[in-house]
Amino acid sequence: MIHVLATINLKTGTRSAFLKHLMANVPAVLAEQGCHGYTPAIDIDSGLAAQGPLRGDAVVIVEAWTDMACLNAHLVAPHMGTYREKVKDMVDSVTLQVLQSA
């Protein structure tokens, strides 16, 4: 199993509009072969001492894929290109952490 933490850092004040586009794309991603989970998440104030500073202009997508072939197919899926075009002016940067089950 491949797990991905995709952190999308957004331009100030665009998170609400970004989330509308992202959430509209989620059903298409969940229907992809090998997708076991695709969950957008935002920071909350947990009160836990180990938590880093809250990021009001960030969205993290927690993903699970059968294998790298499925993840690679996801990255070039037509609906992902359409989604990226819609949000490109809202995004400052994207970082990925790609992990495998231990």
Task: For residue 4, list its beta bridge partners.
Answer: 63, 98
Contact call for residues 2 and 98 (beta carbons, < 8 A): yes
Identify whether 51 is part of a domain: no
Contact call for residues 18 and 6 (beta carbons, < 8 A): no
In tens digits, the chain (102 residues) has pLDDT values of 999 999 999 999 999 999 999 999 999 999 999 999 999 999 999 999 999 999 999 999 999 999 999 999 999 999 999 999 999 999 999 999 999 999
**Structure confidence by residue, pLDDT tens digits, 30-55:** 999 999 999 999 999 999 999 999 99
Identify whether 28 is part of a domain: yes
Owning domain of residue 28: 2-44+56-100
Identify whether 61 is part of a domain: yes
Q: Tell me how many domains the chain contains.
A: 1
Mutual angle of helices 15-30 and 78-87, in 10-degree steps: 180
